[in-house]
Chains A and B, each alone.
Chain A
Amino acid sequence: MGRRAGALSRPAFASPGAVAVLAVLLAVAIPIAVLIGPYPMTLGQVLGVVTDRVTGVPARGDTVDTVVFAIRLPRIGAALLVGGALAAAGTCYQTLFRNPLVSPDILGVSAGAGLGAVLGIFLSLPVAAIQGMAFAGGLACVALVAGVAAAVRGRDPVLVLVLAGVVVGALAGAATSLLKVLADPYDQLPAITFWLLGSLASIRTDDLAPALPAVVLGLLPLVLLRWRINVLALGDDEARALGVEVRRLRAGVILCATLITASVVAIAGVVGWVGLVIPHVARMLVGPGFGRLLPVAVLLGALYMLVVDTLARTIGTAEVPLGILTAAIGAPFFLWLLARGRRSWS
Chain B
Amino acid sequence: MSALVEAEGLATGYPGCEVGRDIDLAVAAGEVLCLLGPNGSGKTTLFRTLLGLLPAHGGTVRLAGDPLDRLPRGEIGRRAAYVPQAHAPVFPFTAHEVVLMGRTARLGPFAQPGRADHAAAAEALASVGLADRAASPYTDLSGGQRQLVLVARALAQEAPLLVMDEPTASLDFGNQALVLSEIRRLADRGLGIVLSTHDPDHAFAVGDRVALLQDGRIREIGPPDTVLTEAALSAVYGVEVRVETLGSGRRVCVPSLARPAGAGSA
Contact = CB atoms under 8 A, between A and B. Distances in A.
A345 B90 contact: yes
B130 interface: no
* Size bracket of the B interface: 35 or more
Interface in A238-267: 238, 240-245
B15 A99 contact: no
B137 A99 contact: no
A144 to B, nearest CB: 23
Interface in A1-29: 2, 5-6, 9-10
Interface in A218-232: 224-228, 230-231
Nearest 6 CB-CB pairings of A with B: A243-B77, A243-B105, A288-B91, A241-B82, A9-B92, A154-B15
B78 interface: yes
Contact of A240 (B14, B73, B102): B73
B177 interface: no
Nearest to B81: A241
A227 B111 contact: yes
Interface in A329-346: 343-346
B97 A344 contact: no
Contact of A243 (B53, B74, B111, B140): B74
A233 B139 contact: no
B101 A234 contact: yes
Contact of A227 (B53, B113, B157): B113
Chain A interface residue bracket vs B: 35 or more
Contacts of A60: none
Contacts of B109: 225, 228
12 contacts: A6-B136, A98-B90, A99-B90, A226-B112, A227-B113, A231-B104, A233-B90, A241-B82, A243-B104, A245-B73, A289-B93, A291-B112
A100 B110 CA distance: 25
Contacts of A343: 88, 139
Interface of B: 14-16, 48, 51-53, 73-78, 80-82, 84, 88-94, 97, 101-102, 104-107, 109-113, 135-137, 139-140, 157
B90 A100 contact: yes
Interface in A111-170: 153-154
Interface in A274-307: 283, 287-289, 291
B141 to A, nearest CB: 9
Nearest to A226: B112
B89 A9 contact: no
A237 interface: yes
B90 A227 contact: no
B101 A242 contact: yes
Contact of B140 (A5, A242, A289): A5
Given A9-B92, A343-B88, A242 B102 contact: yes
Contact of A241 (B53, B94, B110): B53
A221 B219 CA distance: 50
Nearest to A154: B15
Given A6-B136, A283-B91, 4 more contacts: A233-B90, A242-B105, A343-B139, A344-B90
B140 A244 contact: no
A344 B92 contact: yes
Nearest to B165: A237
B112 A243 contact: no
A237 B84 contact: yes
Given A225-B110, A227-B111, A10 B137 contact: yes
B53 A240 contact: yes
A283 B136 CA distance: 16
A338 to B, nearest CB: 15
Contacts of A95: 91
B2 to A, nearest CB: 21
Contacts of B101: 230-231, 234, 242
Contacts of A242: 77, 82, 101-102, 104-105, 157
A225 B108 CA distance: 10
A227 to B, nearest CB: 5
B107 A227 contact: yes
Contact of A344 (B80, B88, B157): B88
Given A6-B136, A227-B111, A233 B74 contact: no
A145 B78 CA distance: 34
Contacts of B105: 242-243
